[in-house]
Amino acid sequence: MGVGEICLKMGAKGCLVITDKETELVEWPQVAVVDTTAAGDSFNGGYLAARMAGKMPQQAASAGHALASVMIQHRGAIIPSAVMPRENKSKQLTIDSGPARSVKLLAPFCASTWVFW
């Protein structure tokens, strides 16, 4: 028994995903930071949604990074509706984070606190 999965968030350095079988640094491209309000909650929501959808911890970390990276490019804890995550026909969450980049997350969006035992 014990903790079977840990995700240690390290800000701009990415996060360290530790499981019973491996340890992996999951990085994400840097974006222009406007405000870090709700960045952690956004990461947690993206991570949890992906894990609840059956994705691997590394995939979940990428989903968390994707959502948090959109969040920190806007002021406050609520992002504008134009960049709000939306589910597409294939049940993937699409976030349009600008004209040159669209990010597809691995699961529907949810927010929650998390610990995996």
Helical ranges in the chain per DSSP H: 39-52, 57-71
Amino acid (1-letter code) at residue 58: Q
Please write the tens of the pLDDT for every residue from 43-66: 999 999 999 989 999 999 998 998
In the set 20, 35, 41, 96, the catalytic residue is 41
Using the predicted structure, report yes or no on whether residue 93 has a pLDDT greater than 50. Answer: yes
Whole-number pLDDT of residue 116: 36
* Domain 5-105 CATH (choose: 3.20.20.70, 3.40.1190.20, 3.90.1150.10, 2.60.40.10): 3.40.1190.20
DSSP annotation of 67 reads H
- Residue 102: pLDDT band (50, 70, 90) is very low
From residue 15, alpha-carbon distances to 78, 80, 90, 94 in Å are 23, 26, 28, 22
Q: 41 an active-site residue?
A: yes
With beta carbons less than 8 A apart as the criterion, state whether 33 and 26 touch: no
pTM of the prediction?
0.72
